[in-house]
Copies of this chain bind each other. A is one copy, B any other.
Amino acid sequence: MKNITLDVKGMTCGHCKGAVNGALTELEGVDNVEVSLETGKVDVSFDESKVDQAKLKEAVEEQGYDVV
């Protein structure tokens, strides 16, 4: 299991938090997601054999947020 932190811009409310959390959690290989609205940091732990950082980033961007 690998842990990374994504730096996400534009999350403003609980709905945003839920959208990002949901999009990441539903990816196969993602084990745990923690979203902080205050910092914009999204901690993700995932199985590197099933998903990679590029796919995580893509899932967040598809919800309308920038990953910096």
Report the interface size class on chain A.
under 10
Q: Which residue of B lies closest to A14 (CB)?
A: B64
Complex: chain B residue closest to A17, CB-CB: B15
Q: A23 in the interface, Cβ–Cβ < 8 Å?
A: no
For the complex, is A13 an interface residue (Cβ under 8 Å from B)?
Answer: yes
Is A39 in the interface zone, CB < 8 Å from B?
A: no
- A34→B6 CA distance, assembly (Å): 35
Q: Which residues of B contact A10 (CB under 8 A)?
A: 13
A49 interface contact, C-beta 8 A: no
The answer to whether the Cβ of A67 comes within 8 Å of any Cβ in the partner chain is: no
Using CB atoms and an 8 Å cutoff, list the residues of chain A in contact with chain B.
10, 12-16, 18-19, 64
